[in-house]
Amino acid sequence: MSTRPSQGEAVQSQLLNRFDLTARLLSRLTRDEAVIGGIGNTNFDLWAAGRRPQNFYMLGSMGLAFPIALGVALAQPRRRVVAIEGDGSLLMQLGCLATIAERCPANLTLLVMDNASYQITGSQPTATHYGADLVAIAKGCGLADSFWAHATEAYEGLLETALSSDRPHLIAARIDKSPGQGSTDRDPSWIRDSFMRGLGTRQ
C-alpha cells in the first residue's frame, strides 16, 4: 500500500520518507539552528542524517520533543529551533500544542513524522491510522500555521516559510514504513553536554 486515506483533506498524500525529510531539513540549516529529535526513529534518523552539536537526541521521555524545543526556543529567542516528533509520541502529549500556541514562539518549527503507527515497538497502529488528523488537532489548539506536506516539493516550500517566519509552524508528513537509519549514542550526559556547547551555553 503506497497511500492511505488522508483525513479531512481533499488532497491525497504521497507517502514521504523520514530520513529523506530529515536530511532535507539539515541541508537547509545555515545559522546554527537547534534540532530536537523525539524518541526512537525520529532521533535515529536525525543521528543518521548528520551529527551536529546543535542536535539534541531524546532517549526516553516519550512525547517531550516539542516541550523541550519550546524551552530552548524561549531561552534563545534569536536561534531557530526545530523539533521532530512521531505521531505516537505527539498523541501522548497533545496538550503541548495548546501551550505552544499560547506562547507563540516566533522561532519554533514543529515537524511531525506520521507513519500511523508505533513503529519502533512493533508497528501497532496509532489513532492517526483510524483518522485522527494531527494538523487539524494542531489548528484546533491554536497553531494556525499547521500544514500537511503532501509531497517533497511542498515540504521544502513549507520548511522555507517556517524557517523564516515570525510565528510557530507545524509541518506534518505522512511517511512510509522505512525503519530508522541509525542508532543514537546512548550516553545522555554526553548528549546534553555537547548540545549545550552547540548552543553556546557551555564552553
Partner 1 sequence: MSRWYDVIVDVLKRNQIRLVTYVPDKVLTPLIKAIEADGYFTVFAVAREEEAVGIVCGSWMGGLRGIVLMQTSGFATLGNVLASLAVPYQIPLLMIVSERGTLGEFNQGQALVCRTMRPLLTSLGIETHTLSRSDELDFTADRTISQAIATQAPAALILSPLLTHAKRQELQ
Ligand X SMILES: Cc1ncc(C[n+]2csc(CCOP(=O)(O)OP(=O)(O)O)c2C)c(N)n1
103 binds, among ligand X, partner 1, none (CB under 5 to 8 A by kind): partner 1
Name the amino acid, one letter, at 193. Answer: D
Hey, what amino acid is at 169? Answer: H
Beta-ladder partners of 112: 85, 172
Q: Is 117 in the site for ligand X (CB under 6 A)?
A: yes
Packing angle between helix 95-103 and helix 65-75, nearest 10 degrees? 20
Find the binder of ligand X among 88, 101, 155, 191 (CB under 6 A): 88
In the complex, minimum distance from the CB of residue 158 to ligand X, in angstroms, rounded to a whole number = 20
Classify 13 as helix, strand or coil: coil
| Listed ranges 14-22, 53-61, 111-119, 126-134: which one lies at the site for partner 1 (CB under 8 A) | 53-61
Interface with partner 1 by CB under 8 A: which range of 45-53, 72-80, 112-120, 176-184? Answer: 72-80
Using the rule CB under 8 A, which residue among 37, 40, 63, 86 binds partner 1? 63
The closest residue (CB) to ligand X is 86
Q: Residue 100 and residue 110: Cα distance in Å, rounded?
A: 10
Answer yes or no whether residue 98 interacts with partner 1 by CB under 8 A.
yes
Write the DSSP assignment of 170-200 as a string of letters: EEEEEB--PPPS------HHHHHHHHHHHHT
C-alpha cell, 168 = 510557530
Q: How far is the CB of 21 from ligand X (least distance, A)?
A: 13
Which residues sit at the interface with ligand X, rule CB under 6 A? Answer: 39-41, 60, 62, 86-89, 115, 117-121, 126
